[in-house]
Amino acid sequence: MMALDLSQNKHADVSYEEKERLFEEVKADERWHHVLYGCYECGICVAACPSARFYDFSPRVIAQAVAREDIDLIYTLMSDSIWDCSQCFSCDRCPRQNSPGQIITVMREVAVKNGLQTAKDALQGYGRIIYKIMATGSQVSPDMLQPDAFPDWGTHVYEIAENLEEWRRALPPETLHTTETGWKVDQKTIIELYLIWHMTGVMDLIEGVDEGLFMILVDVMEERLEEAGYDDITFD
């Protein structure tokens, strides 16, 4: 059986004070008192967890580390393990009503808000999805089905990628006759989305994690907002 290797910190170490500050931010989250009550070590969360089956990951380790307030271990987990969770919340069947999945949600948010390298690395592969949803209003596009991006689809993906426009035109609704976006999104909807991203601070989060992506989004959004008459909104 493969042992959990918690000794390897994959990212640059930081001071104990910094680790403590990050954990304080986790604990200050208003969800905190509803996701952690204590741990029997019964292992139900691990037994239910699909990520524990396939990765070097254990929801129980997460719950115990935060319950013990083991600052060093929490930082190690934030630097790696928390990104192995599939956020399915199967661990919510904990008899103590702990939710390791939600503890991880909060830890991830703190990692993103603080622009930790671990968050940048974990989210890198999602850059185009974030770009798609924020720039076009639909999160995935048919043209993501490329052999190099989805080799696990097998050789069939070559055929799909080659004839994508024809496949899409075969779908009855005209709004799906697209390859660059999932469906045609109304301009008014897109402008509303841009305003939401602007007002809720989502753009600030993205700037901390992926500067290149932020730059592209600002470029797209400012231009379209200006065209729609919102010429006083800037994201910088």
Q: Which residues bind another protein (CB under 8 A)?
A: 125, 127-128, 131, 143-144, 146, 148-150, 180, 212-213, 215-216, 219-220
For another protein, the closer of residues 75 and 197 by Cβ is 197
CB of 177 to another protein, least distance (A): 17
For another protein, the closer of residues 30 and 236 by Cβ is 236
For another protein, the closer of residues 27 and 224 by Cβ is 224
CB of 188 to another protein, least distance (A): 22
CB of 41 to another protein, least distance (A): 39
Amino acid at 123: L
CB of 171 to another protein, least distance (A): 20
Q: Helical H runs in the chain?
A: 16-27, 44-48, 50-54, 59-68, 71-78, 100-113, 117-123, 127-136, 156-162, 164-169, 187-200, 202-209, 211-227
What tokens does 72 get? 């060093």
Task: Report which of 6, 18, 121, 22 is spatially closest to residue 73, judged by C-alpha positions.
Answer: 6
Q: Phi/psi zone of residue 201: left (φ > 0), alpha (ψ -120 to 50 degrees), beta?
A: left
For another protein, the closer of residues 106 and 133 by Cβ is 133
CB of 29 to another protein, least distance (A): 30
How far is it, in rounded angstroms, from Cα 111 to Cα 26?
Answer: 9
How far is it, in rounded angstroms, from Cα 170 to Cα 222?
Answer: 35
CB of 72 to another protein, least distance (A): 28
For another protein, the closer of residues 37 and 153 by Cβ is 153
For another protein, the closer of residues 9 and 146 by Cβ is 146
CB of 149 to another protein, least distance (A): 3
**Inter-CA distances, 54 with 45, 87, 122, 162, Å:** 14, 14, 17, 33
Is residue 138 within 8 A of residue 185, CB to CB? The reply is yes
Residues 29, 35, 38, 41, CA torsion sign:
negative
For another protein, the closer of residues 32 and 183 by Cβ is 183
